[in-house]
Amino acid sequence: MNHRQATGPDNTLQPTVTPLDTAPLYQRVADRISNRIYDGHWRPGETIPNEFALADEFSVSQGTVRKAMSVVEEAGLVVRQQGRGTFVRKLSEERSYFHFFRLAHPQGERVTPEPHTETVFKRQANNHEQSSFGINAKDSVVVIERLRLVDGVRATREHVVVPDSLFAGLADFDDALPQALYPFYHQRYGIFVLRADEYVSAITADKKIATDLKIKINSPTLQVNRTAFDMKDRVVEIRTSQFRADLFQYNVNLS
Amino acid sequence: MNHRQATGPDNTLQPTVTPLDTAPLYQRVADRISNRIYDGHWRPGETIPNEFALADEFSVSQGTVRKAMSVVEEAGLVVRQQGRGTFVRKLSEERSYFHFFRLAHPQGERVTPEPHTETVFKRQANNHEQSSFGINAKDSVVVIERLRLVDGVRATREHVVVPDSLFAGLADFDDALPQALYPFYHQRYGIFVLRADEYVSAITADKKIATDLKIKINSPTLQVNRTAFDMKDRVVEIRTSQFRADLFQYNVNLS
DNA sequence: GAGTGGTCTAGACCACAGC
DNA sequence: CTGTGGTCTAGACCACTCG
């Protein structure tokens, strides 16, 4: 039972039992729990064993499991509910949608677009994609191009690139892809998008953009470049989107 | 010492000692600590009494103070340093700067602009300002208008509005205001900006903007509308900024 | 070495969900 | 009623900072 204390019941004063890993115990427990989620040992939506059971299994106190679970919760992998249990987080439409989709009307309400057209194909990775995804020149990527409507009007244009290696068979997917891609990534490929960097710029529409969005060439347009990271902090998606600047603002809450 | 337990040393089985306030104890302690910071009892940079001293004063265990302090830390009011102590947070240039100033070069590095011109004056609050700040039609606001340079070129234009009631004497300030306003708000007025909502839009430069930024009329321009909140969640500043879209992107990290 | 925050344990009780 | 996570305590020891 005693792991770090030097005051064991026998007086041999052994310093500790194989410290080696210097990280706090709760951190190591948090890692083991996280890994079980990554490798699918516990699936999204599933109930995790309760704190005492885990404490028993890992031979630590319930308080340590508790602290570890806080770390895992903060990382966004689980949800705790008093009286019910602790559950592996499901990336819901709601979360992925309003967490990562930051468009708002000029008045401030958030926007919900509808799908319009979609093209999916595979090609070789370019230099930027190779370095971002950590893949080779020979490796291919899957490109998803979409137009979306808001109130029946073409409003957004998305260019999504993911590495073929992580998303096997995506290019040959039969049906239309779901509206929200991140829950789909999670359910089908076990890839959980947890954070993203975005760069917002103001550009003037070129011919292609103008045609797609049915606006005049040189109209002011919002462009968002996103790099998305999964729970292992790998780059898993590179996305470029354009939006009609007369219809939308990009909203963010800083804290 | 015992506050909530019903199993006191004497067997009278009194339920609890004046619960009334139903919030968890650590939360109530966190509130008391926060209030001491708000009202200046402990000043920015000052060391807070250690956990055992506070536990003693509040008649709770050190573990409870510890948990309370985590809450206060998460709220951004204090900084804890192992081996040294716990300190009331100072809003440093660095924090306010790179936390709230989200501009980046197209290549990605963050931008640091230099001051150029500054105008400060007082006027009546308009409708939007009245409702945002919760003030009356008769109340006045202070307006700060600034141009800033990047690499010697006019690059950003800021229009800052704050309520006169919270910022007494600001309009009559003699010297130029400091580069970073939020540390100044904090030091001089005790107002600690903790979060902000921002709306980014792509506009075309009108005559005024074009003149100020020395760009052509109708040039694409990034506009950021910010509403800033202090630690008591009051709206304390409304800011509208324009940036040359050819020089900058707006960067944000979502998680 | 003294003092601080950080970790860990063991055990009690509370609040909530659900049968 | 039972089981879950949430709160609280008391006390030990660890890791770090600083004089």
Q: How does pLDDT run along chain B (255 residues), one tens digit per residue?
A: 333 333 333 333 333 333 346 789 999 999 999 999 988 899 888 999 999 999 999 999 999 999 999 999 998 899 999 999 999 988 765 666 667 788 899 877 888 889 999 999 999 999 999 999 999 999 999 999 999 999 899 999 999 999 999 999 999 887 889 988 998 898 889 888 888 999 999 999 999 999 999 999 999 999 999 999 988 889 999 999 999 999 999 999 888
Q: Are residues A100 and A35 in the same domain?
A: no
With respect to residue A5, please indicate whether it lies within any of the assigned structural domains: no
Global pTM reads 0.83
A67 touches strand D (CB under 7 A): no
The beta-carbon neighbor of B252 closest among A108, A220, A252 is A252
The DSSP call for residue B226 is: E
Amino acid identity for residue A102 in this structure: R
- Look-up: residue for tokens 């995804």? A133
CA distances A239 to A160, A197, B19, Å, are 4, 10, 53
Put simply, whether A5 touches B (Cβ < 8 Å) is no
A64 touches strand C (CB under 7 A): yes
Q: Are residues B80 and B97 in the same domain?
A: no
Neighbours of A63 (CB within 10 A): 12
Q: Are residues B124 and B32 in the same domain?
A: no
Put simply, whether B195 touches A (Cβ < 8 Å) is yes
Q: Are residues B50 and B176 in the same domain?
A: no
Strand order in the sheet with B85-88: B47-48, B85-88, B78-81
Q: Are residues B162 and B180 in the same domain?
A: yes
The DSSP call for residue A170 is: G
Work out the minimum CA distance from A165 to partner chain B, whole angstroms.
25
Put simply, whether A220 touches B (Cβ < 8 Å) is yes
Pairwise CA distance, residues A144 & A146, whole Å: 7
B83 touches strand D (CB under 7 A): yes
Residues sharing a CB contact under 8 Å with residue A160, sequence separation 6 or more, in sequence order = A143, A144, A145, A146, A181, A237, A238, A239
Q: Are residues A127 and A83 in the same domain?
A: no
Strand C nucleotides within 7 Å of a protein CB: 3-18
Give the pLDDT mean for A185-200.
89
The DSSP call for residue A110 is: B
With respect to residue B187, please indicate whether it lies within any of the assigned structural domains: yes
Work out the minimum CA distance from A254 to partner chain B, whole angstroms.
5
The last residue of one of the domains, among A88, A107, A131, is A88
> D16 C1' – A58 CA distance, angstroms?
28
Domain residue limits at B61: 25-88
- Burial class of B174 by CB neighbour count within 10 A (0 to 12, 13 to 18, 19+): exposed
Q: Are residues A42 and A126 in the same domain?
A: no
Put simply, whether B101 touches A (Cβ < 8 Å) is no
pLDDT digit string, tens, across residues A57-113: 999 999 999 999 999 999 889 999 999 999 998 876 566 666 788 899 987 788 888
Q: How many domains, chain B?
A: 2
The beta-carbon neighbor of B203 closest among A100, A197, A220 is A220
> C18 C1' – A84 CA distance, angstroms?
8
* Partners of residue B98 in chain A, C-beta under 8 Å: none
Q: Are residues A169 and A60 in the same domain?
A: no
We report the CATH number of the domain holding residue B57 as: 1.10.10.10
